[in-house]
Amino acid sequence: MSSIPAPKLELADDEWRKRLNPAEYAVLRQAGTERPFTGEYTDTKTEGIYACRACGTELFRSTEKFESHCGWPSFFDPSHSEAVILRPDDSGGMHRVEVLCANCHSHLGHVFSGEGYPTPTDQRYCINSISLKLVPSQE
């Protein structure tokens, strides 16, 4: 298994706790998960950019968001290939692929392939709303 590059933004644990509220910290820094259908962006149709709530790095765009009806915001591709890091996650007795912010290594969610959604990539980046901050497009 290859190692992942070091984060560009590294903060001490107490600094993350000052920057994030307890719920954000639990998901972003401890790989927690928000309950399905409770997130701020699950059904959002606002056009814009979805940035990492921890560091502000652009991760996804509304043009790649789709309705999967899974309870979390779903995207078929990140905004650019270097935006996220994928790593194996065998926690919880199942094999999944974890999605991390490439800049600060915060936990975003998981990516699933081959589920049959009618998207160009046949992937579903299942991302916690609490891991994201929507920056609406300026028109």
Please report, rounded to a whole number, the percentage of residues in the chain having pLDDT higher than 90. Answer: 80
Is 106 contained in some domain? yes
Instruction: Give pLDDT, residue 98.
Output: 96
Give 65's contacts (C-beta < 8 A, 6+ positions apart): 44, 50, 73, 74, 75
Residue 111 has pLDDT above 80, yes or no: yes
Full domain range(s) for residue 89: 13-136
Closest among 39, 46, 40, 112 to 76, alpha carbons compared: 112
Q: Is 126 tagged catalytic?
A: yes
98 phi and psi, to 5 degrees?
Answer: -80, 145
Is 6 contained in some domain? no
Is 129 contained in some domain? yes
Name the average pLDDT for the chain. Answer: 92
CB neighbour class for 36 (10 Å; exposed up to 12, middle 13-18, buried from 19): exposed
Is 5 contained in some domain? no
Please report which confidence band the pLDDT of residue 74 belongs to, taking 50, 70 and 90 as the band edges: very high
Residues pairing with 48 in the sheet: 136
| Structure-block tokens of residue 112 | 């699933």
Whole-prediction pTM: 0.91
Is 117 contained in some domain? yes
| Number of independent structural domains in the chain | 1
CATH number at residue 48: 2.170.150.20
Is 92 contained in some domain? yes
Give 68's contacts (C-beta < 8 A, 6+ positions apart): 74, 117, 124, 126
Is 3 contained in some domain? no
pLDDT tens profile 5-18? 777 888 899 999 99
Is 37 contained in some domain? yes
